[in-house]
Structures are given as structure tokens and as C-alpha cells.
Amino acid sequence: MSDWSPFLGLPLWVWLFVIPTALAAIARLQRARLMPLLRRIWRVLDAVYLASGVLAAVFMVMILLLIVAQMGARWAGITFEGSTEFAGYAMAATSFFALAHAFSRGAHIRVSILLNLNSFTRMWLDAGAMLVAAIIATYFARYAVKTNFLSEMLNDRTQGQDQIPEWVVSFLSMFGTAPGNWGAIWEKTGDAWIYTPVWVPQLPMSVGTVLLAIALWDHLIRLLVTDETAIKGETVE
Amino acid sequence: MSELYATAIFLFAMFALLGGSVWVGLALVGVAYIGMELFTSRPAGDAMITTIWTGASSWTLTALPLFIWMGEILYRTRLSEDMFRGLAPWMRWLPGGLLHTNIAGCTIFAAVSGSSAATLTTVGKMSIPELRQRGYPEYMIIGTLAGAATLGLMIPPSLTLIVYGVSINESITKLFLAGVIPGLVLAGLFMTYIIGWHYLRPGERPKPEPSMSFARMIKDSRFLAPVMALVFIVIGSMYFGWATATEAAAVGVIGALALALVQRSLTRETFFASLMGATRTSAMIALILMGASFLSLSMGFTGLPRALAGWIDSMDLSPIVLIAALTVFYIILGMFLDGISSVVLTMAIVEPMIRQAGIDVIWFGVFVVVVVEMAQVTPPIGFNLFVLQGMTKHEISYIARTAIPMVGLMVLMVVILVIWPELATWLPDNVRQGPRG
């Protein structure tokens, strides 16, 4: 368990798995009292899932534009360095950002044959499945974030020919540093283009998987508190 | 712990997670994690992210959201109305009459959309009321529609074939071209069935359609011309090597947007609805693919695929027996899982097996699509059945019964593919050399 080093005095797995489960149990037991507070949180979270879905859609449009630009460049005889890598990054961004939004709209599929047996399984099998799924998603998110940090620490660069302006990297690293150090970041920043550091396109992976994990714990709590699933399914997409 | 014991736990975990209604993509991650912990000392989490990141950010995958988007745009236009008006004049002369619009409509929509459910809804929305009104027997309307809608999975662009191509690392362009002729043959089989019904059950024929002038026929079919043009541009650009699958998809999206704009059915709402809908569907498939890529890594450590391939080799089976066994296996699997999930779940095991047996992987892709198509119309879990239930308010069991002849035709299609494999392999072998992809 070397990978689960203590954080604020408790092993990381307690924070990631035990505490959310405990929170879900408390929410179930105290549901009458917690309902007004929870409703406010749910409104905020719904907006967050939607916003991340919209961001995913923006990246999907970006894939289209990149590919059109690539075709245009080929016909014009210009080489568009790294266009396939950029399209790949946009692909990852659209997939990961949309995970939580797709989940909250019931787009992710599952085998529901046992779920539809009776009203007991519809409630408790669903809750069990959400708990298991939440644990898996949290595990997924934890390693996505870890890998993202490692890529930054090791200064991992792309294998392709894709380059991005250095200021983009500096701008994004502001979010991960204390405001006191921002000056130091910008002092080192030139107006050069550099080979893409892998951690930049990996950011959507971290954000998206963390949001998916939050969405799963959130919907588990909603199910336990309201006795009905909050996933607004659509029959056909 | 013995190898056998660990394998049993691994397989049990797979059934428990999937059967316990955990979302497919996450269930695959969970199963893969268990496999890693049981069979190797490699750190599971780090290996997981490396594999998933490489897969999720790959260029090949970019064709997926774009083809989904193209289908979504056309699904929200007035295409379905135009399709019926444009097709009806040509189908009325055939024995079996307007029932053929179900098949022809599905074939055309399948060529712009990779999804079976979207094909079913688009065509059914228009053809069910029209055919009912003209007095065609209900079981023929529902049955032919349920069967023909599965063409959405086979005729390119096909989401199942993209997923298959990504899983085994084969050219998507080749797979798409491989699907064209078998898709048309299957459509031909469905039409033959309708013609057969016409002659065998003369009592059920509705009264013939009033005659129509040739000028009127041409006039009515102008509605179809833009869609047909789009189909030829998308498939043609891949065949002639002008564009990779992804580029063809980008052209398709732009073409679909232009078509909707000309039709004046592209409002701000439909544009955003198509965009968000495509984003969700693509994320759904992406999550399954993420789980699947981790699972195939983990599968490699379990030694199951190698053992099975070795076992198949030692039995000295003929490829035909192997294909027959796999057909039965996929039909059973398809009763519980949707097509895409069954493909990704099994590929890690099946791929070494078929390569060992010397079966062409492009041909196998088409075969897999035909067999998972059957899954769409077989109970208890058949997605097309659910969609049709929503549209017609019939019982699932009734819809499934009407679709049984169609399943029979699909089995016949498998036999045809085994006898004449060139149906699938000829077109991709003759593709013009173009950009990579």
C-alpha cells in the first residue's frame, strides 16, 4: 500500500473510499434534515456537469476544425506539423470532459436485466452498482491525477512534432502554483513555441475522471436520499 | 494460488460486475484491475493510465465522434419525411410494395449514420404510420423494420466497425469498405423475404397503389438526391483514397450541416442538440473503449487468450467449425450485451484465436457485425426491440416474434459470408492507395 501514502494524517484510501461511503450512509440516515442543503449542492453540481459537457462539445468542434485545416493544408501543399497529435488531444479532451455529463443524462450503458426485476432491486441493486462504480471511478481518477502530476514532474514531452506556445504552458501552470510564484513563471516564459509537455493535454483526463467520480458518489447519495434515481435517461440517442 | 483458481475468480468478477448492472466501461476497468492484482506484480494503476491515455488520445479514434455527429444532425432534420416521399414512387412497383421502403430507407440512412437505433427511429417515425394507413399487416411492418435497422451497424459509417478497428488496430477505411457489399446483400435478402411474403400470402396484400406519372416520380425523388450525394461523397472519398476515415467523417459533418441548412431545418436548437447528443454518445463509447483497453492489457497477463488460442490450435479445428462455434457464442453473448460491448469484451481473447486459425481479420470484422446485429433483435436484451416498443406500444415478445425471420436471414448471411468471403474482402483489397489511415 505504498501508493496510498498518508494525507493529513489518514491514508489516502480512507479519504477516497471510506469517507465518501460514510457520507452516503449519513445522508441516508439524516435525509430529512439534510435535504434542503443537499438540494442546493445538487443544483451547483448539475451546472458543473453541464458546463463540462459544453466544454467537451467545444473540443469536438475543435476536432472538426483541426481535420478540415489539415485537409486544406494538404491540398495547398503546406505541412501542418502535429495535426494528428492535436486531433488526438482534442479527442481525449472531448471524451473525458463529457464523462460526467453523459453519466448524469443516462448515456452510459449497462446490463439492466436484473435491475428491472422488481422495485427492491431497482433501488438496492442500483445503489450497490453505484457504490461499486463510484469506487472504480475514484480509483481511475486517482491514478489519472497521479500520472498527470508525474508527467509534469518528469517534464515528459510529446513523441510527435506538435508544438504549442510557451505562454499557454505558463498560463496553465499558474493554476498549480501559489500566486507568490507567478512572477517567477512568467519571467522564464519566452514567446517561443515548445514541444507539447504531455501534462497539458492530460489535464482534461484528470478533470474529467475526477468529475465522473464525483458524479457517481453524488448520484449514489441522491438515490439514497430520495429513493429514486436522479439519472434522467433518454430512450434513444 | 493455482492458475485455474485465479482464472475462475477473474471470470466470476466479470459476470458479477456486468450482471450486477455496473456501467459497462467501469465494470471492465474493475475486472481488469482484479486481473492485474491476481496475475502480475506490476503496479495496476499506473499501467492502467498509460494504456488508457494512449488509447484515448489516438488519432484513429477521432473518426468516432465525427461520424456520430453527422448521424445526429441528419437524425434531427426533415430527412425522414423526404425519404418516404422520395422512395415510395420507386418501391410501389415491386412485389411487396411499400414495405420495401423500410429496407431501402434503412439502407440509405445506415449509410449516413453508424447507429442502429437512430436508423430505426428515423425510418420508423415515417414509415410505420404510412404503412399502417395503407393496410399492410402489422407483423410485416414491424419485423422488416426491426431487421433492416440493424443495417445501421453494417453499412459504413459503422460505430461497431470503428470500435472493432480500434480494438485490433486495423485500418478503419478497409473495414468500412468491407461492410459495403455484405450490407447490400443483407438488404437484398430482406427484400427477397418481402417478395416471398407477397407471393406466399396473397390474402394479406393491401390494395395496389394508384398509378403515377413518371414525371411525378422524378419530381418526388429530388428529395433524396442530396442525401444520396452525401453518401457517395463520404464512401467514395475513402474508396478512391482521397481521404482517411476521419477526413471522410469531417466532410460528412460539413455536408450534413449544409444539407440541413438548405432544408431550413438547421435551427440553433437542432444544432446544439445534435452537438451535445453526439458528445454524450461518443463519451459513452469512449468510456467502454477505455475499460476495454485496460482489460486487454490485463487479459494478456492472465494468459487466457494464449491458452485458448493454443487450445484451438491443438484441437485442429477447421475454420468453419470455429466460425460456427463463435456464431453461437456471440448470439448468446448478444442476448445480454449490446454489440459494441460484446466486441470490446471479447476481442482480447478472440483476436489471437482467429489469427492463429488464419482467418482474415477484416473479414472477421464483417462477420462479427452480422452476429452482433442479431443481438439487436433478440430478447431479452435487444436494443431495437426496446426502441420499437417505445414507438409502437407493442409487447416486446410480439416484436421479437415478428423479427424471428430476420434473425434467420442474418444466420443465412453468415453462411453466405463463409461461402463467399470475397464479398467482404474484395472491395478493401482494391482500394486506391491514398493518405495513411
> pLDDT band at B433, cuts 50/70/90?
low
CA distance A50 to A53: 5
Give the separation between CA B391 and CA A27, rounded to whole angstroms. 39
Cell of A86: 492535436
Query: How does strand A6-7 pair with strand A10-11?
Result: antiparallel
A60 near B278, Cβ under 8 Å? Answer: yes
Residue the block writes with cell 430476420: B406
Q: Say how many C-beta atoms besides its own lie within 10 A of residue B192's C-beta.
A: 12
pLDDT, chain B, mean: 88
Q: Where are the alpha helices (DSSP H) in chain A?
A: 12-13, 19-29, 31-76, 83-104, 119-153, 166-174, 182-188, 199-226
Q: Tell me the average pLDDT across A93-119.
A: 90
d(CA A38, CA B131): 51
Contact B283 A237 (CB under 8 A): no
Mean pLDDT of B13-23: 91
What ipTM was reported for this prediction? 0.94
3-class secondary-structure state, position A113: coil
| % of chain B at pLDDT higher than 70 | 98
Measured CA to CA, the distance from residue B300 to residue B410 in angstroms comes to 33
* pLDDT value of residue A140: 96
Task: Please classify residue B4 by burial: count the beta carbons closer than 10 Å to its beta carbon, then call 0-12 exposed, 13-18 middle and 19+ buried.
Answer: exposed
**Shortest alpha-carbon distance between residue A179 and chain B (Å):** 30
Closest by CA position to A172, among listed A180, A162, A182: A182
Encode pLDDT of B239-253 as tens digits. Answer: 888 888 899 999 999
According to the model, what pLDDT value does residue B283 have? 95
Residue B392 has pLDDT above 90, yes or no: no
- Closest approach of B166 to chain A, Cα-based (Å): 13
Band of pLDDT at residue B305, cut at 50, 70 and 90: confident
pLDDT of residue B378: 81
Angstrom distance (rounded) from CA A50 to CA A102: 9
pLDDT at position A235, please? 41
CA-wise closest residue to B299 among B32, B26, B1, B3: B32
pLDDT band at B434 (very low <50, low <70, confident <90, very high): low
Name which of A81-85, A131-135, B132-136, B204-208 the model is least confident about: B204-208
Give A197's DSSP letter. Answer: B
CB contact under 8 A, A53 and B118: no
Run of H or E residues at B318: none
Task: Identify the closest residue of chain B to A68 by CA–CA distance.
Answer: B250
pLDDT single digits (tens) B171-188: 999 999 999 999 999 999
A89 contact residues in B (CB cutoff 8 A): 57
Whether the per-residue pLDDT at A127 is higher than 70: the answer is: yes
B279 close to A (CB below 8 A): yes
Mean pLDDT in residue range A136-162: 92
Nearest by Cα to B6 from B41, B45, B31, B39: B39
Query: Cell 457504490 sits at which residue?
Result: A131
Which residue of chain A comes nearest to B66, CA vs CA? A64
pTM of the model: 0.90
Question: Do B250 and A128 lie within an 8 Å CB cutoff?
Answer: no
Give the B window 343-382 contacts with A, CB below 8 Å: 380-381
The cell for B143 is: 419485423
Interface of B with A in 418-437 (CB under 8 A): 435
Residues of chain B positioned with their CB less than 8 A from the CB of A2: none
Kindly indicate the confidence band of residue A214, based on its pLDDT and cuts at 50, 70 and 90.
very high
In this structure, what C-alpha cell is assigned to residue B195?
417478395
- Distance, in Å, from the CA atom of A10 to the CA atom of A4, rounded to the nearest integer, reads 10
pLDDT score of B437 more than 50: no
Helix (H) or strand (E) holding A10: strand A10-11
- Work out the average pLDDT over B264-280: 91
| DSSP H or E segment with residue B93 | none
**Dihedral sign of CA atoms A220, A226, A232, A235 in order:** positive
- Overall average pLDDT of the B195-221 stretch: 84
Q: Bridge partners of A197?
A: A157
Interface contact B273, partner A, CB < 8 A: no
* Site from B15, B17, B23 to mutate, A interface, most A CB atoms within 10 angstroms: B23
Q: Is the pLDDT of residue A99 over 50?
A: yes
Please state, in angstroms and rounded to a whole number, the distance separating the CA atoms of residues B360 and B364.
Answer: 6
**Closest Cα in chain A, distance from residue B156 (Å):** 19
Closest chain B residue to A131 measured between Cα atoms? Answer: B22
Q: How far is A45 from chain B (nearest CA, A)?
A: 18
Single out the residue of B158, B164, B200 nearest to residue B330, CA to CA.
Answer: B164
Predicted pLDDT at B125: 84
A17 DSSP 8-state letter: I
Rounded Cα–Cα distance for residues B153 and B332 (Å):
19
pLDDT at A237: 34
Handedness of CA B293, A156, B46, A211 (dihedral sign): negative
How far apart are alpha carbons A184 and A206 in whole angstroms? 25
Q: What is the pLDDT of residues A4-35, one digit of tens each?
A: 777 777 888 888 999 999 999 999 999 889 99
Judged by average pLDDT, the poorest of A172-181, B222-231, B377-386, B389-398 is: B377-386
Q: B-contacting residues of A 14-73, CB under 8 Å?
A: 53-54, 56-57, 60-61, 63-64, 67-68, 70-71
